[in-house]
Amino acid sequence: MNEPEAALVAIRFAGNLAALLLWGASCFVSLLVPAPLRDRVWEEIRIWRFGSLLTIAAAALLALPVSAAIVGGRWLDAADPSVLAAVALETSAGTAWLWQAASAFFLLVASLVLPAKLRLPLTALFSAGLLLSLTLTGHAVMKAGAALVLHQANDLLHVLAGGFWIGALVPVLALLRHLATPETHDGARVALSRFSLVGHGAVALVLASGLVNTVLILGGLPTDWSIPYQRLLSAKIVVVVMMIAAALFNRYYLVPRLGRSGSAARALTAGTIFELVGATVVVGLVAWFGTLDPLP
Ligand code: HEM
C-alpha cells in the first residue's frame, strides 16, 4: 500500500465511523427516546456530534484529492484540477464522492443552521445519505444488473443496521447516567428497554447482511487465511462476536441487577464502552480490507 492509499484508508475509517455514529445516535434519539428526555440527551452528546460533523466535513474535503493522488500516482496530482475533475466526473469513486460531499453539506446545514425541531430528523436523514455513498464504491459495484442492485441493497441494510447498533450506544451512555436521577429515571428506563428490543433486531440484521455480503463477495466463508482480505474479515467477525457477547452480558446479566447495586450500573457503562471500542476496531478493519483483493 503506498502513501495516498494508506491516507484513503485512514479517511474512510474516520469518515465512516463518524457517519455510522451520527446516524445511529440521531435515529435512536429521535425515534426511541421519550419526548421529555429527547432534547436533553441530544444536547448532552454534543461533543460527540460536533466531533463527528467535523470528521465528516474533513473526510469529504480530503477524499477527492487523495483519490486523485492514487489515480495519478503522485501527491502532486491531489492539487491538479484536470485530475480532480477526471476522478470526480469519470469514476465510480467520483460518483460516490459527489454523493458524499452533497450529503455532508446538507448534514452540516441541517445540524448547525436549521431550527432545533428539524435538526434531529434531518441529521438522521442526511447521515443515512452519507452511508448510502458507501454502497457506490467497493466490492459491491463490481457486479452488474440485478446482482449489483441486490448487493448494494444488502450493503445499505448492513451499514444502516450496524450504524444503528453502534451509534445508539453513545446516547445509551448518557441515558445510563439518567437512571440515577429520580426525575429522569423512568424516561431513561423506557428508552433503554426500547433500545434493547430494537437492538436485538439490528444485531440480527447486521449478522445476516454481513453473511450475505461475505457470500456475495467470496462465494463462501473467509477460510483462506493466506489472503489478507479473508484474514482481516475473519478478525472482524471475531470482534463482532465479542461485541455480541458483551451486549448479551449487559442485557441479560447486568440490566436485571440495575436496581439492586450501584456496581451493576458502572459495569453496564464499562460494557457499553467495550462495545464502542469493538465497533471502532470493526470499522477500522473494514476500511482497510475493503480496499484489498478478496480472492487469489
Ligand atoms: C458491528 C457490526 C458491523 C459493522 C458496524 C459493520 C460495518 C461495515 C461497514 C461500514 C462496511 C463498509 C461498507 C462499504 O464500504 O460498502 C462493511 C462491509 C462489510 N461487512 Fe460489515 N459490519 C459489521 C458486521 C459484519 C459481520 C458480522 C460480517 C460477516 C459475517 C460483515 C461482513 C462484511 C463484508 C463482507 C463487507 C464488505 C467489504 C467489502 O466491500 O469488501 N460485517 N461492514
Over residues 250-283, the pLDDT tens digits come to 999 998 888 776 788 899 999 999 999 999 999 9
| Structural domain contains residue 133 | yes
pLDDT of residue 131 exceeding 90, the answer is: yes
CB 281 within 8 A of CB 17: no
Type of residue numbered 65: P
The model carries a pTM of: 0.95
| Structural domain contains residue 20 | yes
Helix (H) or strand (E) holding 91: none
Quote the domain boundaries for residue 23. Answer: 3-289
Within 8 A by CB and 6+ apart from 63, the residues are 8, 11, 12, 15, 97, 100
| Structural domain contains residue 296 | no
| Structural domain contains residue 294 | no
Domain total for the chain?
1
φ/ψ (deg, to 5) at 222 = -80, 75
| Structural domain contains residue 220 | yes
Would you state the pLDDT for residue 222?
96
Ligand 1 mean position, distance from CA 183 (Å)? 40
pLDDT tens by residue, 134-173: 999 888 778 788 889 999 999 999 999 999 999 999 999 9
Nearest CA to ligand 1 atom 5: 162
- Position of cell 419526548? 35
Nearest CA to ligand 1 atom 9: 159
Type of residue numbered 35: A
| Structural domain contains residue 12 | yes
Nearest CA to ligand 1 atom 25: 210
| Structural domain contains residue 218 | yes
Number of Cβ within 10 Å of residue 47's Cβ equals 8
The stretch 102-108 carries a mean pLDDT of: 96
pLDDT tens by residue, 197-209: 999 999 999 999 9
Nearest CA to ligand 1 atom 29: 210
List pocket residues of ligand 1, CB cut-off 6 Å: 16, 134-135, 138-140, 155, 158-159, 162, 165-166, 206-207, 210-211, 213-214, 217, 233, 236-237, 240, 243, 279, 282-283, 286, 290
